[in-house]
Amino acid sequence: MTDTYAQLVKKGPAKRLARKLGLPQPAALRRYEPGQPLVTGPVLVQGSSSGADDLAAALLGWDLDVRRHAVPREKLAAIILGLDAVSRPEDLETPVLAAAASLRDLAPGGRVITISRPALDAESPAAAAARQAVDGLLRSLAKELRAGATGNGILLAGAAAPASPGALAALQFLLSGRSAFVDGQFLTVGAGDAVPTGNVDKPLAGKTAVVTGAARGIGAAIARTLHRDGATLVLVDVPAAGDHLAAVANEVRGTALQLDISTEDAGRRIISHALQRHGSLDIMVHNAGITRDKLLANMDHARWSSVININIAAQLRINDAVLADDRLATAPRIVSVSSTSGIAGNRGQTNYAASKAGVIGMVRATAPLAAAKGGAVNAVAPGFIETDMTARIPFAVREVARRLNSLQQGGLPVDVAETIAFLASDAAGGINGEVVRVCGQNLVGA
């Protein structure tokens, strides 16, 4: 679906008028393409801790052009702010204001990334205050950036260090074009098993992935992205979508399974298909979902139960089957699609929001169960994404929804798919029980 307004204000009189009136001017986002460099230009690493030194050394190992001190008026691809050692709110001033002096030198599509520790892990109120302050700092800064630049943070839980494999994998994702529509978000990284990928083109090679709701839209984009990254695909959708499902399966050289995931034996049938056709099941992506919108005062049993059953109850049953089957991979990756509606709510979507909030609760509670098998379970929460479903929203409402984020535009299905592909990879092994919003930093919700 074309964003006509964004195209209109790119140049000429419309651009000048939009600037004069203070109207949104969405920038073209730097999205990933195979073979492109991680970043183009110098990367400034600010911070005086030993962790910042280790991080700079690691980035040099990636053949990046690393700066430890800013060069005036030099265009920067990224600013990385090491705040992992702060123990008092006063500790923030020197590194933060040093980084602030370089913000005007950030190139279009640049990245600002903080590296800090969770407040919950703090040993004193002062340390907790300083660490929580980074949250407000980063989210506010992300709303100040322009020209397609984004700001995100990495939280180092437990024994994780700035240059540990999991932190480096998260940093690589956030620096890359894969995170184009991830903005104002934090990734919590533990000291779990993570395999750094460097710039490997096929991080999912040798893995078999199941994607539900794969016939069109976000599901089809997930299938294409996982295929690009080397995975073998099992694509699942309802029989009514069989023709579209077969077309996508042929495109990605996978197999199609026509199945209603709300049936009690869906998990068993998915596992049997994956094992019989491909010999393994390593990645389970829960994308299938429906909407049956009504104000709660007008809600009936059919609308409520169908949404709850497909959007969350089916996922619970399938996860139970996957985690209980000893024939499957010893380090399973499960990724679910939630929604910002499940975080902030949405008028007329009490059933949908309940189901998507339920996904978040499920992911957090399932994380220890997945970790016990060496795996991980996480979720993505898309905001406004340009799909056939959002194309049916009335024009005025659709335009407002597109602009209500820091990037002033809707995301693309591939933006959701890129985050899922990262979370499905071995590199994300240190990330478990997390919910990553892919919403351009929607102005509603945390």
| Count of domains observed in the chain | 2
Mean pLDDT lowest for which of 252-256, 325-329, 368-372, 429-433?
325-329
Q: Is 32 a catalytic residue?
A: no
Residue carrying the six token digits 């980074």: 134
In a domain, 321, yes or no: yes
Q: What percent of the chain has pLDDT over 90?
A: 76
Return the pLDDT at 287.
97
What is the band of 1 on the pLDDT scale with cuts at 50, 70, 90?
A: low
- Quick check: helix, strand or coil at residue 334? strand
Residues in Cβ contact with 150 at an 8 Å cutoff, skipping those fewer than 6 apart: 111, 112, 142, 179, 180, 182, 183, 184, 406, 407, 441
**Same-domain pairing of 166 and 278:** no
Residue 197 pLDDT > 60 = no
The helix or strand, by DSSP H or E, that contains position 148, with its residue range, turns out to be: none
Q: Give the residue from 55, 2, 298, 10 showing the smallest Cα distance to 167.
A: 55
Q: Which residues of 19-56 are buried (b: 16+ CB within 10 A; e: fewer)?
A: eeeeebbbbebbbbeeeeebbebbbbbbbebebbbbbb
Averaged pLDDT score across all residues of the chain: 91
User: How do residues 14-57 score in pLDDT, each as one tens digit?
Assistant: 677 767 777 777 888 999 998 899 999 999 999 888 889 999 99
Structural contact between residues 48 and 27, judged by C-beta atoms closer than 8 angstroms? no
pTM of the model as a whole:
0.94
Note down the domain range covering 295: 208-438
Residue 442 pLDDT > 80 = yes
Residue 439 pLDDT > 50 = yes
Q: Give the residue from 114, 101, 177 showing the smallest Cα distance to 142.
A: 114
**Same-domain pairing of 340 and 264:** yes
Return the pLDDT at 445.
52
Structural contact between residues 103 and 73, judged by C-beta atoms closer than 8 angstroms? no
- The mean pLDDT value for 72-95 works out to 95
**Same-domain pairing of 347 and 433:** yes
**Same-domain pairing of 223 and 185:** no
- The mean pLDDT value for 393-398 works out to 77
CATH code where residue 315 lies: 3.40.50.720
d(CA 410, CA 413) in angstroms, rounded, equals 10
Q: Give the residue from 241, 320, 341, 322 showing the smallest Cα distance to 284.
A: 322
Residue carrying the six token digits 């307004």: 5
- The mean pLDDT value for 407-422 works out to 96
**Same-domain pairing of 160 and 268:** no
Q: Which of 181, 352, 384, 422 is catalytic?
A: 352
- Domain boundary residue, one of 189, 219, 243: 189
Residue 199 pLDDT > 60 = no
- The mean pLDDT value for 207-224 works out to 97
Q: Give the residue from 48, 146, 55, 137 showing the smallest Cα distance to 89.
A: 137
Return the pLDDT at 195.
61
Residue carrying the six token digits 């801790």: 49
